[in-house]
Structure formats: C-alpha cells, structure tokens
Amino acid sequence: MELNNTQHGIFKSPCHRPFFIAVHVGVGQHSAQKEKAYKTVMRQACRMGAEELQAAGDPLQAVVAAVSSLEDAPLGNAGLNSNLTVKGVVQCDASTMVGDGAFGAVGAVSGVTNPVRIAGELARQSREPMALGRVRPMFLAGDGAREWALEQGLSAAPSPEAASQWHITDAAQRRWQRYQRLIDEASQSQEAPSSAIGAQRLFKPEGEPGTTMTQDASPPAKRLRTDTTGSSRTATAQHQASASCEEDADCLAYDTVGAVCVDALGRVAASVSSGGIAMKTDGRVGEAAMFGSGCWAADAEPSPDRPAVACSVTGVGEAVMRAGLSRACAEALQVDAAAAAAEADARTSTVDAICGREIRDCVELGQPAGLPCPHRDCGVLAVRVSRSSGGAGGSGGVDVAGCGALGGNLGSQERSSSMAATAGAADEGGQ
C-alpha cells in the first residue's frame, strides 16, 4: 500500500542488524502537485535515521536525524517553511522521547536550525546528573531555548533580532498574507460565530466523513485552524479560501512531522516537530512540545505482556493536549497486548483500531462542552514491538508486531517509503 504522507520501505542493513523507522508529515492538506516531492523527502528522512542508527546504535539519535531531515525540507510545517504567527514570525515546537523515559522539548522557539535537535539534546542530557543536586531542564521555551542551543554548540541565530527572520520562506509569507486578508475581511463582517467553528469551516464546509490509512476512502481536506478569537467567516470567504487552496501549491501541511524507531534490541524512540497552527498567537505552544501529547515511547517492561511502543501524533494541538493523545494511544496498545496474553487463543487488536478508538474517545471526551470535536483532524503514527522465540539456538528476536497510522488526513490506502523498515531480512514485520 502507499500513503499520501506516510510511507514505508525495506532496506538491507550492511551489518544485518534489523531495525524499523517510520516517518510522517502530518494530517494537513497536502498539495497533490508535490506528492512526488513529499515521498522523496520522507524516503530521505528514513535513510538519514537509518544511517544514524547504524552508526550510533541509539534510537534517540535516529529519530532526531529523521525529523531534522524533515525540518530542513521546505515542504511541511516544521523548521523551514513553518507557519507564521499572527505577527509574522516562525515559532517552533518539538519533542523527543526514548523508551527508557528520557524526554526533551522546546516550545515557541525562533532562530534555531533544527528545533528537534535541541529537544534531543535535552533528552540525552536528562540521563546525566548535575553537580550539587541541580535538576536538568526537560522543556525550554522562547528565546531561552535559542540561547541554550548556542551554549551546546547547536546551530542557532546569534541574537533575538536575527532569530525573528529565520525559517521564513516566500511560501509561508504568501500563506500569511492570504490568511491575514481573510481575517481582515471576516472582522469587517457583522457576523460573529464562535472562532472554533469558523476556524474549522474556513477551507471546507463540514460533512466529510473521517478516514484512516486502512480504509478505501478519500481523505477529507484539512481545515485551516487559527486562534483569532471572535473572528467570523462568511460563506464568500469560505469559498474563496477553499478555491485558493485547491489552486495554490503553497497550501500544503498545517501540522507536525514526526518519526518512530525500533532498534535491533527492541528499544524504541519517538519524535515530533511543528511550526504550529497558522496565525497563532505569539508564544502559543502546541502538542508537539507537550509531554504525553506529541510523542511517547516506552520500552518493554520485564513482563513480556507489556510490549515496547512508540507513537508520534499530529493534529489539533489544543484537543490533542487535553487528551494526552500520544500517551493514551501507547498505553492502550500495551493494555491490549497484556489482555490478549492473559487469555488463551486471544489475539491483539490492530494498531490502527486501537489508536483510532483513542482518537475518537479521548479527544472527544476531552473537549469542553459546546466546542466541536475535531478528532478527524488528528492522527497517530504508532508501532508496537514484540519478542519472538525464533532464531538460531532458540534465541529471541524482535518483531514489529504492529505498525499503523491513521487520522483525518494522514493518507489514503497505500503505504510506501515514509514508513521505512531496515533489516537484514527481506520480509517486513506483520501489520
């Protein structure tokens, strides 16, 4: 199968150490004109992660390398070409988590080449004690994150003034100008519907059914989301925005990019990075930076009934944060495996089915009364790992027991190389 914006492929490992890497580029509305470019970028991200894993043997470094590659590509909404804030600057969020519990994140940071590298370095350093009992940071925000990056030798702007100009592309400026024009037109209208409803309807009217990666259905278009409180959307503005987006290749993704990884020992890591929603308030931090929301990873516990899991989430940030979606999906995958192991002849549910249930139930239940549920604009890339008893001499092996990705517009029926499994064997792990 081949997905619009998540793919997988199998590569031969020169040292025959099996591993698995998958990437996604969000649930946003992606330009059909750039489908080939998306696939090329995702394949490259998978290869970068695979090369790093083979060189360093650390799944943390692998997901950071993969997501950094996606941040460097001017196609998605992370790093270069990120959405602009209402004041016209780029402020990025990113996080990384490893199965041993190490976590690092940055929020609303400007002027850093790769936000995910700061998150990765925070996660790495969290394993190391500090003198005098000091506590290492887990989450850095704003210009303090940029200054810390410089101190660590990471690529970043030399000053706040220079940082305000980083990562702004012509395409992002065109999007900003288009959205600002629509907001100005709407603010002049006498109508005043709720901003949440207006934001969901800006590009397409409601009514499209949701879809998953394993259904034969065309994905619904992503709605532009803004946090401009009190603005209204007229029918004319909605029609103009929809037509503009369908005709303009600049209307692409509005969401996160991410990756999950499983190494030869069954250890896992996950990462996510985002430029945030379009026209967001300066200083707003989304799910890509929040613990338990944007990504989650947990290695297998001593009991074989609790498999290793890793998730990378994309979607409506505020709804995802209320739900703690990445952690909810990961824990549900582990609970399902434990329940199946406890019953004779029981089978685990598919990763798609479990994550789909969490998107519907957790996101919907977490919504405040009176707000529409945007669960069709959420998606999860997840992997569940099990250990097999096969192998020479009965030695155990590592199987990707299930990998799924689904959401409002994560992709259509087929999958190819955005989910990349690199192994010494020629066969892919089970779905």
Whole-angstrom Cα distance, residue 428 to residue 421? 7
256 is catalytic: yes
Tokens of 316: 């409506």
Q: What is the pLDDT of residues 173-196, one digit of tens each?
A: 999 999 999 999 988 875 544 444
Residue type, 110: S
Question: In terms of Cα–Cα distance, which of 44, 43, 65 is closest to 54?
Answer: 65
**Overall fold of domain 6-78+254-423:** Glutamine Phosphoribosylpyrophosphate, subunit 1, domain 1 (3.60.20)
Q: Where are the domains of the chain?
A: 6-78+254-423, 170-247
Q: Whole-prediction pTM value?
A: 0.81
Whole-angstrom Cα distance, residue 276 to residue 340? 38
Instruction: With a cut of 50, say whether residue 395 has pLDDT above it.
Output: no
Burial of 343 (0-12, 13-18, 19+ CB in 10 A): exposed
Whole-angstrom Cα distance, residue 296 to residue 102? 10
Whole-angstrom Cα distance, residue 375 to residue 394? 44
Helix (H) or strand (E) holding 121: helix 115-125
| Torsion angle, alpha carbons of 9, 14, 18, 24, to 10 | -30
Whole-angstrom Cα distance, residue 24 to residue 125? 26
Q: What is the pLDDT of residues 365-381, one digit of tens each?
A: 777 777 766 555 788 99
Grade residue 65 by pLDDT with cuts at 50, 70 and 90: very high
Q: Order of strands, edge to edge, in the sheet holding 397-407? A: 295-298, 308-314, 379-388, 397-407
Q: What is the pLDDT of residues 299-356, one digit of tens each?
A: 998 766 789 999 999 988 988 999 999 999 999 999 999 888 888 767 889 999 999 9
What lies within 8 Å, CB to CB, of 343 at 6+ separation is: none
Partnered with residue 400 across adjacent β-strands are: 385
Q: What is the pLDDT of residues 1-51, one digit of tens each?
A: 233 455 443 344 445 578 999 999 987 667 778 889 999 999 999 999 999
Partnered with residue 308 across adjacent β-strands are: 385
Average pLDDT over residues 114-118: 98
Residue with tokens 């995958």: 333
Whole-angstrom Cα distance, residue 403 to residue 24? 13
Number of alpha carbons in the 13 Å side-chain half-sphere of residue 390? 4
Catalytic position from the list 85, 212, 256, 348: 256
Grade residue 144 by pLDDT with cuts at 50, 70 and 90: very high
Q: What is the pLDDT of residues 263-279, one digit of tens each?
A: 999 999 999 999 998 89
Whole-angstrom Cα distance, residue 421 to residue 43? 11
